Amino acid sequence: MSDRALFVVRAGALTTVQDRGRPGHAHLGVPRSGALDAPAAALVNRLVGNPADAAVLETTLDGCALRPRSDVTLAVGGAHCRVTVDGRPAAWGSPLRIRAGAVLEVGRAVTGVRAYVAVAGGIVVEPVLGSRSTDLLSGLGPPPLTDGAVLPLGGDRVPHARVDAAPQPAPPAELVLRVTLGPREDWFTPDAVRAFVSRAFQVSSASNRIGLRTEGPALERARGGELASEGMVLGAVQVPPAGRPVVFLADHPTTGGYPVIGVVRTADLAAAAQAAPGTPVRFVAVRRR
Protein backbone atom coordinates (compact mmCIF):
# COMPACT_ATOMS: atom_id res chain seq x y z
CA MET A 1 0.00 0.00 0.00
CA SER A 2 1.14 3.54 -0.73
CA ASP A 3 2.60 5.59 2.10
CA ARG A 4 -0.26 8.02 1.47
CA ALA A 5 -2.38 6.44 4.17
CA LEU A 6 -3.64 6.87 7.74
CA PHE A 7 -3.20 4.18 10.38
CA VAL A 8 -6.04 4.13 12.93
CA VAL A 9 -4.48 3.96 16.41
CA ARG A 10 -7.80 4.46 18.22
CA ALA A 11 -11.12 4.29 16.40
CA GLY A 12 -13.26 5.79 19.16
CA ALA A 13 -16.91 5.07 19.88
CA LEU A 14 -18.03 5.60 16.28
CA THR A 15 -15.84 7.07 13.55
CA THR A 16 -16.97 6.81 9.95
CA VAL A 17 -15.94 8.01 6.52
CA GLN A 18 -18.37 10.61 5.16
CA ASP A 19 -18.71 12.93 2.18
CA ARG A 20 -21.75 14.64 0.66
CA GLY A 21 -23.58 11.33 0.48
CA ARG A 22 -25.37 9.49 -2.30
CA PRO A 23 -28.59 11.40 -3.11
CA GLY A 24 -30.94 10.22 -5.84
CA HIS A 25 -31.25 6.56 -4.84
CA ALA A 26 -34.25 6.64 -2.48
CA HIS A 27 -36.32 4.73 -5.05
CA LEU A 28 -33.85 1.86 -4.54
CA GLY A 29 -34.21 2.06 -0.75
CA VAL A 30 -30.79 3.73 -0.36
CA PRO A 31 -30.60 6.68 2.06
CA ARG A 32 -28.66 9.83 1.23
CA SER A 33 -26.17 9.36 4.11
CA GLY A 34 -23.20 11.77 4.20
CA ALA A 35 -21.83 14.05 6.92
CA LEU A 36 -24.49 14.98 9.48
CA ASP A 37 -22.95 18.43 9.99
CA ALA A 38 -22.35 19.23 6.34
CA PRO A 39 -21.10 22.82 6.89
CA ALA A 40 -18.46 21.62 9.38
CA ALA A 41 -17.29 18.91 6.98
CA ALA A 42 -17.10 21.41 4.11
CA LEU A 43 -15.14 23.87 6.25
CA VAL A 44 -12.39 21.43 7.27
CA ASN A 45 -12.10 20.42 3.62
CA ARG A 46 -11.57 24.07 2.65
CA LEU A 47 -8.93 24.45 5.35
CA VAL A 48 -6.79 21.73 3.77
CA GLY A 49 -7.47 22.76 0.16
CA ASN A 50 -9.84 19.91 -0.71
CA PRO A 51 -12.96 20.19 -2.85
CA ALA A 52 -16.16 20.22 -0.79
CA ASP A 53 -17.06 16.66 -1.81
CA ALA A 54 -13.82 15.07 -0.53
CA ALA A 55 -14.30 12.33 2.05
CA VAL A 56 -13.53 13.16 5.69
CA LEU A 57 -13.76 11.36 9.02
CA GLU A 58 -16.75 11.96 11.30
CA THR A 59 -16.15 11.09 14.98
CA THR A 60 -18.79 10.71 17.69
CA LEU A 61 -18.28 12.05 21.22
CA ASP A 62 -14.83 10.65 22.07
CA GLY A 63 -12.78 11.36 18.94
CA CYS A 64 -10.07 9.10 17.53
CA ALA A 65 -6.29 8.81 17.12
CA LEU A 66 -4.52 8.61 13.75
CA ARG A 67 -0.93 8.07 12.57
CA PRO A 68 -0.11 9.19 8.99
CA ARG A 69 2.40 7.13 7.03
CA SER A 70 3.65 10.25 5.23
CA ASP A 71 3.68 13.98 5.91
CA VAL A 72 0.11 15.30 5.64
CA THR A 73 -1.89 18.49 6.07
CA LEU A 74 -5.08 18.04 8.03
CA ALA A 75 -7.66 19.98 10.01
CA VAL A 76 -10.07 19.16 12.84
CA GLY A 77 -13.40 20.97 13.19
CA GLY A 78 -17.06 20.45 14.07
CA ALA A 79 -17.47 19.63 17.76
CA HIS A 80 -15.01 21.54 19.93
CA CYS A 81 -12.38 19.15 21.31
CA ARG A 82 -8.76 18.97 22.45
CA VAL A 83 -6.30 18.25 19.65
CA THR A 84 -2.77 16.97 20.26
CA VAL A 85 0.13 15.77 18.11
CA ASP A 86 2.42 13.32 19.94
CA GLY A 87 0.91 14.59 23.18
CA ARG A 88 1.56 18.29 22.47
CA PRO A 89 -1.39 20.69 22.09
CA ALA A 90 -2.30 21.60 18.51
CA ALA A 91 -4.82 23.97 16.99
CA TRP A 92 -8.46 23.06 16.49
CA GLY A 93 -10.09 24.66 13.43
CA SER A 94 -6.78 25.33 11.66
CA PRO A 95 -4.69 23.52 9.04
CA LEU A 96 -1.92 21.44 10.65
CA ARG A 97 1.15 19.90 9.05
CA ILE A 98 1.72 16.47 10.61
CA ARG A 99 4.93 14.52 10.09
CA ALA A 100 4.94 10.86 9.13
CA GLY A 101 4.68 8.64 12.21
CA ALA A 102 3.30 11.33 14.52
CA VAL A 103 0.04 10.57 16.35
CA LEU A 104 -2.85 12.98 15.99
CA GLU A 105 -5.27 12.66 18.93
CA VAL A 106 -8.77 14.06 18.49
CA GLY A 107 -10.11 14.24 22.03
CA ARG A 108 -13.53 13.95 23.60
CA ALA A 109 -16.05 16.56 22.47
CA VAL A 110 -16.20 19.42 24.97
CA THR A 111 -19.19 20.98 23.25
CA GLY A 112 -21.11 19.33 20.44
CA VAL A 113 -21.14 15.67 19.42
CA ARG A 114 -19.41 15.13 16.08
CA ALA A 115 -15.91 16.26 15.09
CA TYR A 116 -14.57 16.16 11.53
CA VAL A 117 -11.05 15.40 10.31
CA ALA A 118 -10.07 16.37 6.77
CA VAL A 119 -6.75 15.37 5.19
CA ALA A 120 -5.36 17.07 2.09
CA GLY A 121 -6.12 14.78 -0.84
CA GLY A 122 -9.14 13.27 0.89
CA ILE A 123 -9.79 9.74 2.07
CA VAL A 124 -10.01 7.55 -1.02
CA VAL A 125 -11.75 4.36 0.08
CA GLU A 126 -13.69 2.65 -2.70
CA PRO A 127 -16.87 4.61 -3.60
CA VAL A 128 -20.27 2.89 -3.67
CA LEU A 129 -23.00 4.46 -5.83
CA GLY A 130 -20.83 7.52 -6.26
CA SER A 131 -20.08 8.12 -2.57
CA ARG A 132 -17.50 7.04 -0.01
CA SER A 133 -19.93 7.57 2.89
CA THR A 134 -20.56 4.93 5.53
CA ASP A 135 -24.31 4.26 5.76
CA LEU A 136 -25.20 2.64 9.08
CA LEU A 137 -28.73 1.71 7.98
CA SER A 138 -28.07 -0.02 4.65
CA GLY A 139 -24.47 -1.08 5.33
CA LEU A 140 -23.22 0.55 2.12
CA GLY A 141 -19.79 2.14 2.07
CA PRO A 142 -16.80 1.33 4.27
CA PRO A 143 -17.48 -0.10 7.74
CA PRO A 144 -17.02 2.10 10.81
CA LEU A 145 -13.36 2.43 11.73
CA THR A 146 -11.69 -0.15 13.93
CA ASP A 147 -8.33 -0.02 15.71
CA GLY A 148 -5.58 -0.98 13.28
CA ALA A 149 -7.47 -0.07 10.12
CA VAL A 150 -5.56 1.66 7.30
CA LEU A 151 -7.20 4.37 5.20
CA PRO A 152 -5.75 5.31 1.78
CA LEU A 153 -5.33 9.01 1.00
CA GLY A 154 -5.38 10.96 -2.26
CA GLY A 155 -2.43 12.96 -3.52
CA ASP A 156 -1.45 16.09 -1.56
CA ARG A 157 -1.01 18.41 -4.54
CA VAL A 158 -3.02 21.45 -3.49
CA PRO A 159 -1.98 24.12 -0.95
CA HIS A 160 -4.05 24.38 2.18
CA ALA A 161 -6.19 27.45 2.83
CA ARG A 162 -4.08 30.48 3.73
CA VAL A 163 -5.80 31.26 7.01
CA ASP A 164 -4.76 30.80 10.62
CA ALA A 165 -8.15 29.63 11.85
CA ALA A 166 -11.78 29.49 10.79
CA PRO A 167 -14.64 30.28 13.19
CA GLN A 168 -17.36 27.68 13.61
CA PRO A 169 -20.66 28.12 15.47
CA ALA A 170 -20.91 26.65 18.94
CA PRO A 171 -23.48 23.90 19.50
CA PRO A 172 -26.88 25.29 20.47
CA ALA A 173 -27.87 25.75 24.11
CA GLU A 174 -31.40 25.17 22.80
CA LEU A 175 -32.07 23.42 19.50
CA VAL A 176 -34.72 25.33 17.55
CA LEU A 177 -35.99 23.41 14.53
CA ARG A 178 -38.20 25.10 11.95
CA VAL A 179 -40.84 22.63 10.84
CA THR A 180 -43.51 22.62 8.14
CA LEU A 181 -46.54 20.73 9.42
CA GLY A 182 -47.78 17.76 7.42
CA PRO A 183 -48.37 15.61 5.60
CA ARG A 184 -49.99 13.61 8.44
CA GLU A 185 -50.68 16.16 11.19
CA ASP A 186 -54.37 15.21 10.87
CA TRP A 187 -53.45 11.88 12.50
CA PHE A 188 -52.94 13.77 15.78
CA THR A 189 -55.35 15.59 18.06
CA PRO A 190 -55.39 19.41 17.93
CA ASP A 191 -53.89 19.43 21.43
CA ALA A 192 -51.05 17.18 20.28
CA VAL A 193 -50.26 19.43 17.31
CA ARG A 194 -50.24 22.48 19.61
CA ALA A 195 -47.96 20.65 22.05
CA PHE A 196 -45.60 19.71 19.21
CA VAL A 197 -45.01 23.35 18.24
CA SER A 198 -45.19 24.91 21.73
CA ARG A 199 -43.84 22.47 24.32
CA ALA A 200 -40.20 21.74 25.08
CA PHE A 201 -38.59 18.39 24.24
CA GLN A 202 -35.06 17.11 24.91
CA VAL A 203 -32.53 15.26 22.78
CA SER A 204 -32.54 11.59 23.78
CA SER A 205 -29.35 9.59 24.35
CA ALA A 206 -30.82 7.03 21.91
CA SER A 207 -30.21 9.43 18.99
CA ASN A 208 -27.88 8.32 16.19
CA ARG A 209 -27.10 8.97 12.52
CA ILE A 210 -30.51 7.58 11.55
CA GLY A 211 -32.57 9.94 13.67
CA LEU A 212 -32.58 12.47 16.48
CA ARG A 213 -34.89 10.98 19.08
CA THR A 214 -36.62 13.17 21.62
CA GLU A 215 -37.93 12.91 25.15
CA GLY A 216 -40.88 14.94 26.35
CA PRO A 217 -44.67 15.06 26.00
CA ALA A 218 -46.25 12.15 24.15
CA LEU A 219 -48.26 13.27 21.12
CA GLU A 220 -51.74 11.73 21.16
CA ARG A 221 -53.16 10.37 17.94
CA ALA A 222 -56.61 11.27 16.66
CA ARG A 223 -56.99 7.94 14.86
CA GLY A 224 -55.82 4.39 15.39
CA GLY A 225 -54.24 1.89 13.06
CA GLU A 226 -51.16 2.35 10.95
CA LEU A 227 -50.40 3.85 7.58
CA ALA A 228 -49.22 1.83 4.65
CA SER A 229 -45.51 2.42 4.17
CA GLU A 230 -44.79 5.67 2.33
CA GLY A 231 -41.73 7.59 1.27
CA MET A 232 -39.62 9.38 3.90
CA VAL A 233 -37.46 12.44 3.35
CA LEU A 234 -34.51 13.98 5.18
CA GLY A 235 -35.85 15.98 8.13
CA ALA A 236 -39.17 14.14 8.37
CA VAL A 237 -40.51 14.08 11.94
CA GLN A 238 -41.99 10.63 12.43
CA VAL A 239 -44.00 9.82 15.55
CA PRO A 240 -43.86 6.16 16.70
CA PRO A 241 -46.62 4.69 18.91
CA ALA A 242 -44.93 5.97 22.11
CA GLY A 243 -45.67 9.50 20.86
CA ARG A 244 -42.14 11.00 21.01
CA PRO A 245 -41.04 12.68 17.77
CA VAL A 246 -38.03 11.37 15.83
CA VAL A 247 -36.27 13.69 13.35
CA PHE A 248 -34.85 11.70 10.44
CA LEU A 249 -31.16 12.41 9.72
CA ALA A 250 -28.79 11.35 6.94
CA ASP A 251 -29.04 7.55 7.34
CA HIS A 252 -32.85 7.51 7.67
CA PRO A 253 -34.98 4.77 6.08
CA THR A 254 -36.49 5.72 2.74
CA THR A 255 -39.95 4.38 3.67
CA GLY A 256 -41.93 4.12 6.89
CA GLY A 257 -45.39 3.50 8.28
CA TYR A 258 -45.54 5.83 11.29
CA PRO A 259 -47.23 9.19 10.63
CA VAL A 260 -45.07 12.21 9.83
CA ILE A 261 -46.32 15.25 11.73
CA GLY A 262 -43.94 17.67 9.97
CA VAL A 263 -40.66 18.15 8.13
CA VAL A 264 -37.69 20.09 9.52
CA ARG A 265 -35.92 22.50 7.19
CA THR A 266 -32.65 21.06 5.91
CA ALA A 267 -30.69 24.14 7.00
CA ASP A 268 -31.47 23.33 10.66
CA LEU A 269 -30.19 19.74 10.58
CA ALA A 270 -26.48 20.60 11.02
CA ALA A 271 -27.29 22.01 14.48
CA ALA A 272 -29.24 18.82 15.23
CA ALA A 273 -26.09 16.81 14.46
CA GLN A 274 -24.20 18.67 17.23
CA ALA A 275 -26.95 18.69 19.89
CA ALA A 276 -25.85 16.54 22.82
CA PRO A 277 -28.27 14.36 24.83
CA GLY A 278 -30.32 16.52 27.18
CA THR A 279 -30.25 19.59 24.92
CA PRO A 280 -33.68 21.33 24.94
CA VAL A 281 -35.52 21.07 21.60
CA ARG A 282 -38.29 23.29 20.30
CA PHE A 283 -40.19 22.83 17.05
CA VAL A 284 -41.32 26.11 15.46
CA ALA A 285 -44.03 25.95 12.80
CA VAL A 286 -43.27 27.78 9.54
CA ARG A 287 -45.16 28.04 6.27
CA ARG A 288 -44.31 26.07 3.18
CA ARG A 289 -41.95 27.93 0.88
| Per-residue pLDDT reduced to its tens digit, 227-270 | 999 999 999 999 999 999 999 999 999 999 999 999 999 999 99
Domain ranges of the chain: 5-152, 175-285
User: Is the domain defined by 175-285 classed in CATH 2.40.100.10?
Assistant: yes
Q: Going by C-beta distance under 8 Å and a sequence separation of 6 or more, which residues neighbour residue 264?
A: 177, 178, 179, 235, 236, 237, 247, 272, 283
- The model's pLDDT over 19-56, given as tens digits with 9 standing for 90+, comes to 999 999 998 899 999 999 999 999 999 999 999 999 99
For the stretch 127-159, pLDDT in tens is: 999 999 999 999 999 999 999 999 999 987 655
Binned at pLDDT 50, 70 and 90, residue 180 comes out as very high
Q: CA 154, 157, 161: angle at the middle one, nearest 5?
A: 105
Residue 274 has pLDDT above 90, yes or no: yes
